[in-house]
Each structure stands twice: as C-alpha cells, then as structure tokens.
Amino acid sequence: MSASSSAGLRRMTKAHKMSIAGVATLGTAALAFSLVPGNAGEAQAVTAAPVAVQQVVAAAQTKNVADHVAVQQAFAVKQAKAKADADAKAKAAKAAKAKAEAAAKKARATKEAASRSAARTPVFANNLDGWIKEALFIMKKEGIPGTYQGIHKNIMRESSGNPRAINNWDINAQNGIPSKGLLQVIYPTFKAYHVKGTKFDQYDPVANIVAACNYAADRYGSMDNVNSAY
C-alpha cells in the first residue's frame, strides 16, 4: 500500500463512516423484508406459527404430566397390592402357627393325661383277690355299686372261684345258653350288661364280675343284695 493510500484512509471523515453504517442497516432491513410474505394471510400465518408451537409444547407437557401421574398411580396400586398380599400371607402364617401350637398343646395335654391315668391305674394280681379288686376299680368309675365282700360271697357260691366254671345241667343249659364264669352269667345277660373297656368274653374273670354286678345293680340294687341264684 502506498503512502498516499494510507493517508487517504486516515482522512476518512465521520460522514463517510455513517454512510457505510447506513448501507449495512438498509441491507439488513431489506433481507428482513424479503422474508416477510407479500400478502396479509401469509403474514398472519407467520405470526401464528410461534403460537402453534407453544400449543404443541404445552400439549406435550400436559401429556407428560398425565403419563407421569398415571405411572405413579399404577405404582401406588402395585405397592398397595403387594402390601395386602404380604399382610395376608403374614396373617395366614400366624394363624397356621397358632393352630399348630394349639394342636401341639392339646397333644401334650392328652399325653400328660394318659400318663397320669396310667400312673393312677394300679397293677392287680392275676388271682381271685386281684380280679375282684380290678372289677371294683372299674365299677367305681362306671358308677356300679358293690363291695368286695358281696362279690366274693357270690363268687364262692356260684363257681368256688373257678373262672372256667360252666353249668351244663340247669334250665339255661337245657335251653342251650349255659351259665359261665365266676358269677355264672348266661350269654344274653353278659352281652346286655357288658361294660365297655372290659374283654367281651364270658370266661374273662374281670369282665364276668363287672357284667354280673351291672346286672345285679339293675335288678337287685347291688350284688351285695344277692344271696342265692339270680
């Protein structure tokens, strides 16, 4: 660049600078004007465009909020169901445990009662004295009256203490139902007055005594009141 050119630039006045700025401003305005449509309808469309965008954005935001609320509600319902299921399972488990504990307690009580009963049950001798005492032990529980002396007296008269004694000559024997056992009981009487818990056997000494005493109590008030064949 020559010295004269540099001097010329330095001599550019303020008016020149303002002229250049004006040209730039006019160019920008022209560009903006060229982007505006030539008719009023198109101008309104351009003006409305930002409003439509805002509406779309607002709708999207509303949908997002609604979706979020729906997700939260679904999650809350799921949590509530899970809690209800857990509570139901806990309740069922508690009930099952209580039932098992009650059953175990009942079983223990039954076992203890059986043990106490076994402990209270005396051991009787396998002879006439033991048979009478065992029969009296059962009779007491069943409410059947009778004493050792009354039973022993009738046994000695009827069978002399022989549990296998049988009468094959009286009217009962002639009718096919002979008297049997310690107290000479016929089968129909033994069957009718047999006491549960004793053997169903006419020859069993204890069962024979208890059935005979049960019959005597019904007919005579007690075996103690029997002084002859009955």
Q: What is the mean pLDDT of the chain?
A: 81
Tokens 């059962």, located at residue: 138
Contact 146, 136 (CB under 8 A): yes
Give just the sign of the alpha carbon dihedral 122, 202, 143, 156.
negative
- Alpha carbon of 122 to those of 125, 134, 135, 143, 205: distances in Å? 10, 9, 12, 19, 17
211: exposed, middle or buried (C-beta count within 10 Å: 0-12, 13-18, 19+)?
buried
Residue type (1 letter), 148: Y
- Whether pTM exceeds 0.75: no
Count of CA atoms in the C-beta half-sphere (13 A) of 206: 19
Give the DSSP H or E segment for 105: helix 40-120
pLDDT (mean) for 192-210: 97
Contact 207, 135 (CB under 8 A): no
Query: What does the pLDDT look like over 47-80, one tens digit per residue?
Result: 556 777 788 777 778 888 888 888 888 888 888 8
Query: What does the pLDDT look like over 140-190, one tens digit per residue?
Result: 999 999 999 999 999 999 999 999 999 999 999 999 999 999 999 999 999
pLDDT at 82: 87
